[in-house]
Amino acid sequence: MRIPLDRQSKLPLYKQIDAYIRASIQSGSLPPDTRLPAARQLAADLGVNRITVENAYAELEADGLVYSRVGSGTYVLPPGPLQPLLQDAQGGSWPQWQQPASPDGLEPWKTAAVGMLPTSPDAGLLDFSGGIGDHRRFPVEDFRKVIQSVLRDDGAASLGYGDYRGYAPLRVTIAHVLASQGIQARPDNILITAGSQQALTLVAQLLLQPGDTVLVENPTYSGALELFRALRLRVVGIPMDERGMQVDGLEALLREFQPKMIYTIPNFHNPTGACLSGQRRRQLVALADRYNIPVLEDDYVGDLRYEGRALPALKALDPGGRVVYVSTFSKMLMPGLRVGFLVVEGPVYDRLVRLKHASDLATSSLVQRALQAYVTVGRYQAHLRRSAQLYRRRRDAMLLAIHRDLMPEGAGLSLPAEVRLHPPQGGFFIWLRLPGGLSSEELLPLACQEGMAFAPGGLFFPEGAGGCDCLRLNFAAHSPQEIEEGIRRLGRALKRLESCKRPNFDDT
């Protein structure tokens, strides 16, 4: 089998092999029951590692396109979805408990969220829907060296369970880095978690019961909404403007809904990019104190600031034990490490440690040790500075492209007030509003056809209905050239949507 491979491509070799065979099966050029070449043979033919071919075959098998027989080889399956083997044998139906008694927020992902899901490999798609920085900037090579020395030096100790609160030296490092950001934290108030998402999970699970109310910014991080719905919480949105959550209206909401927690992203808010003003930060902490309600502060990327003065974290204003602070180093460095942390004082800390232990015993000790060896205050600050320079240029490139390609003559897309007045001073996101009547969920498939993707606004609204006219763009993951091309494609998709919505009018 001759498969054309592009060794300069960003698409890994195994994905290229996968894509080629996949296309051959789907086109019928590899009919059912064809035996694929042995991995060793194909690897030799293509001049690649055998593992590369095996990975490609495994992807195909995982998707039900081929199957393998031990000792015999890999064969093409007939088209169409495989019938579940066991169900087939019985012809029976699923037991009753397999279905939820009531909707529990775990229904299948909406089609509209397609941009958030792992998609099949498509080298041409410029995907602005993600929530992380540019993976081409991840310090892979440095990290490779570090993980080597950890395994060499610590040996089996790096592969045991370790301290349930997290690797002690890493907690010390985190305390030092937080101190450099103005947050006073002791290592024994820090709990290491499987990414900041698990920190949110533990706090919400511990402090709230099904049916309890949580207040969130409207809109807010989709992963938090997903979590709160899965925990069967009632989610109530707090209106936002260009200075973040409208804290003035908060007291009325506290009285009306008697919430058990306030969840907030004060810095470079996801999805709007807004920053909570200093005055509002103080008001929020004071209100939480007066109403005896915990604040869950999600500072997922708060130290990635491109300009302007840093504002104190809510945690830094905390009179003690009112704010649970959640963050991660891995977001910007390497999200796949899945290491985040929370900081809290008081009795709730020990209970969170217990809940973490009950949930998954501990976070990978090896990865924690490697991260600890990699992250020093100096190195982290240097990485931050480099990232901030790079991403600021990309933000500017995207704002420019939006103004040029999407908003000619005042028509077309608009930047919502908060973005127009204050281009995001940090983080990853720009938030756009479509002209009246147009839906970002309808726009998304057209945009994908044009070769770009974004995150549709509906994902970020607690009630699930709002935000259909908004969309979120990640400017950090692509180069300025890619950003310009991506926004041009978005412009074409938007024109197509407008023309099919308003075929006979110029401007209504």
Compute the least distance from the CB of residue 99 to its own copies, in Å: 6
Please say which residue, 361 or 421, places its beta carbon nearer to its own copies: 361
Stretch that binds its own copies, among 62-70, 411-419, 467-475, 483-491 (CB under 8 A): 62-70
AA identity, residue 402: I
Closest C-alpha to 63, from 11, 112, 19, 116: 19
Please say which residue, 90 or 508, places its beta carbon nearer to its own copies: 90
Using rule CB under 8 A, residue 482 touches its own copies: no
The packing angle between helices 365-374 and 168-180, to 10°, is 40
Contacts of 344 (CB under 8 A, 6+ apart): 189, 191, 321, 323, 324, 325, 352
Using rule CB under 8 A, residue 106 touches its own copies: yes
Tell me the β-bridge partners of 278.
none
Compute the least distance from the CB of residue 436 to its own copies, in Å: 34
Site for its own copies in 298-317 (CB under 8 A): none
Question: Which residue in the set 7, 8, 33, 62 belongs to the binding site for its own copies (CB under 8 A)?
Answer: 62
Contact call for residues 453 and 115 (beta carbons, < 8 A): yes
Burial pattern 487-500, b for ≥16 Cβ within 10 A else e, equals: bbbbbbbbeebbee
Provide, for the chain, the percentages of residues in helix, strand and coil under a 3-state DSSP scheme, each rounded to the nearest 5: 50, 15, 40
Question: What's the CA gap between 480 and 490, in Å, rounded?
Answer: 15
Contacts of 429 (CB under 8 A, 6+ apart): 268, 270, 271, 272, 273, 472, 473, 474, 475
Using rule CB under 8 A, residue 211 touches its own copies: no
Site for its own copies in 426-445 (CB under 8 A): none
H-assigned helices in 343-402: 347-360, 365-374, 377-401
Please say which residue, 232 or 496, places its beta carbon nearer to its own copies: 232
Compute the least distance from the CB of residue 178 to its own copies, in Å: 13
Site for its own copies in 241-280 (CB under 8 A): 260
Q: How far is CA 457 from the centre of its chain?
A: 15
Contact call for residues 257 and 238 (beta carbons, < 8 A): no
Stretch that binds its own copies, among 48-56, 278-286, 384-392, 404-412 (CB under 8 A): 48-56
Question: Which residue in the set 27, 72, 99, 481 belongs to the binding site for its own copies (CB under 8 A)?
Answer: 99
Q: What are the two backbone dihedrals, phi and then psi, of residue 35, each rounded to the nearest 5 degrees?
A: -90, 125
Question: Which residue in the set 350, 379, 385, 404 belongs to the binding site for its own copies (CB under 8 A)?
Answer: 350
Using rule CB under 8 A, residue 383 touches its own copies: no
Using rule CB under 8 A, residue 197 touches its own copies: yes
Stretch that binds its own copies, among 219-227, 404-412, 427-435, 489-497 (CB under 8 A): 219-227
Stretch that binds its own copies, among 20-28, 46-54, 413-421, 454-462 (CB under 8 A): 46-54
E strand or H helix that includes residue 288: helix 278-290
Pair of tokens at residue 113 = 């969220």
Site for its own copies in 132-191 (CB under 8 A): 132, 135-136, 138, 140, 143-144, 147-149, 151-164, 168-169, 171-173, 176, 179-180, 184, 186-189
DSSP codes joined into one string, 27-48: HTSS-TTPBPPPHHHHHHHHTS
Compute the least distance from the CB of residue 245 to its own copies, in Å: 20
Site for its own copies in 454-473 (CB under 8 A): none
Question: Which residue in the set 182, 278, 346, 408 belongs to the binding site for its own copies (CB under 8 A)?
Answer: 346
Question: Which residue in the set 23, 360, 382, 404 belongs to the binding site for its own copies (CB under 8 A)?
Answer: 360
